[in-house]
Amino acid sequence: MEKTHYETKYWEVNNEEAATDHPVIQAAGRALKQEEVIAFPTETVYGLGGDATSDRAVKKIFAAKGRPQDNPLIVHIGKKEQVETLVTEIPDMAQTFMDAFWPGPLTLILKSNGTCAKGVTAGLSTIGIRMPDHPVALALLQASGVPVAAPSANRSGRPSPTSAAHVQEDLSGKIYGILDGGTTGVGLESTVVDCTGEVPVILRPGGITKEDLEQIVPEVRLDPALKDKKEKPKSPGMKYTHYAPKAPLWLINGDLEFFQQKIDELRTEGKKVGVMTSKESAERLNAPILKTCGSRSHLSSVAAELYHTLRSFDSEQVDVILGESFPKKGIGVAIMNRLEKASTRIIEP
């Protein structure tokens, strides 16, 4: 019978020290080889990793997260050469993306050769693979010598973790270890692109934008299933409520006058209201609990701070969070994808 409670180990290593022969990296790598599950940093969010070829390790990932079994996992590799050991073929477009964006926040969907555990692909014939752009992650993956299945290291449905403290909050006692490599950079999960057809299709928007991809290939499509929740998920993050704080999040699609009106209405009703907004809008809104998550003029800063800001409302014990909407351009597409999945209502004039 598998353990259900762990004395979770805690390791710490900074980016400058990260190397495959570092004692901490070696210890964490051994844990992965022994079919244990550990959290580790990437440039997007913290991942919850286990040996992708081990049914036992993959089951531990699902158990720790409380994750539905029909939600596939992304496989992380430390060297590009590992891809050919996991797939039946590497199409030219996939090779082009690998050359341009790896290591980086881009997951490629390819045809699986069946090497990985069944739980990784959730019954699909395809597999998602990426090579993260983080020195601690790469050192760990290379030290372990195995492909590592790794969804975000949070309880399913919660905001993804961008620091080791977030992982501890959700998973301490539920996993073997946490490798602390500091805060992450991009702040949103990787872009997922299906490369099994003639034209690449974005299944999940992320840090690599549609515009970035179209600099490399002539055409990129957005999957209609991003808007249809009835579709069977071909990618993590396409199904179920995601990224949600404890209080209900209501997205405001309107000008600042309308935003302030909604704040005032809820306060008049006796609600304890939290407001999540950009630095620019914060100067013109009046609310007792107001938190900023970056700048509208630099949406990458919103992406980097989004999950941390959502989590920060938990300690405030608010009744409702009113959140600002952002332009669906560039990385704004990924930001709004996450906010819409986290929200319970969208309020419009």
Residues near 159 by beta carbon (within 8 Å), at least 6 away in sequence = 166, 243, 244, 245, 306, 307, 310, 311, 342
Query: Quick one: 249-347 is in which CATH superfamily?
Result: Threonylcarbamoyl-AMP synthase, C-terminal domain (3.40.50.11030)
| 228: confidence class by pLDDT, cuts 50, 70, 90 | low
pLDDT at residue number 235 = 58
Lowest-pLDDT range of 149-153, 235-239, 342-346:
235-239
44 annotated ligand-binding residue: yes
150 annotated ligand-binding residue: yes
SS (H, E, C) 218-275: CCCEECHHHCCCCCCCCCCCCCCCCCCCCCCEEEECCCHHHHHHHHHHHHHCCCCEEE
301 annotated ligand-binding residue: no
100 annotated ligand-binding residue: no
Q: What is the mean pLDDT of residues 259-277?
A: 98
125 annotated ligand-binding residue: no
Higher per-residue pLDDT: 85 or 245: 85
- What are the pLDDT digits (tens) for 20-75? 999 999 999 999 999 999 999 999 999 999 999 999 999 999 999 987 777 899 99
- What are the pLDDT digits (tens) for 281-302? 999 999 999 999 999 999 999 9
| Four-residue CA torsion sign, 175, 142, 234, 208 | positive
Angle between helices 23-33 and 135-144 (to 10 degrees): 50
Residues near 12 by beta carbon (within 8 Å), at least 6 away in sequence = 24, 164, 179, 180, 181
User: How many DSSP H helices and E strands does the chain contain?
Assistant: 11, 16
Other residues' Cβ atoms within 10 Å of the Cβ of residue 136: 28
Other residues' Cβ atoms within 10 Å of the Cβ of residue 39: 30
190 annotated ligand-binding residue: yes
Domains of the chain, residue spans: 9-226, 249-347
Does pLDDT of 232 surpass 60? no
Per-residue burial over 281-309, b = 16 or more CB atoms within 10 Å of its CB, e = otherwise: bbeebebeebbbbbebeebbbbbbbbbbb
Q: Strand ranges (DSSP E) for 28-102? A: 38-40, 47-51, 74-76
Does pLDDT of 333 surpass 90? yes
- What are the pLDDT digits (tens) for 92-106? 999 999 999 999 999
Percent of the chain with pLDDT over 90: 89
Q: Does domain 9-226 have CATH number 3.40.1010.20?
A: no
304 annotated ligand-binding residue: no
| 1: confidence class by pLDDT, cuts 50, 70, 90 | low
What 3-state class would DSSP assign to 140? helix
Nearest residue to 195 via CA among 121, 334, 96, 71: 96
Does pLDDT of 267 surpass 60? yes
Angstrom distance (rounded) from CA 188 to CA 238? 14
pLDDT at residue number 173 = 96
156 annotated ligand-binding residue: no
pLDDT at residue number 2 = 65
- What are the pLDDT digits (tens) for 155-199? 988 899 999 999 999 999 999 999 999 999 999 999 999 999 999
pLDDT at residue number 203 = 95
- The average confidence (pLDDT) of the chain is 93
Does pLDDT of 86 surpass 80? yes
Does pLDDT of 134 surpass 60? yes
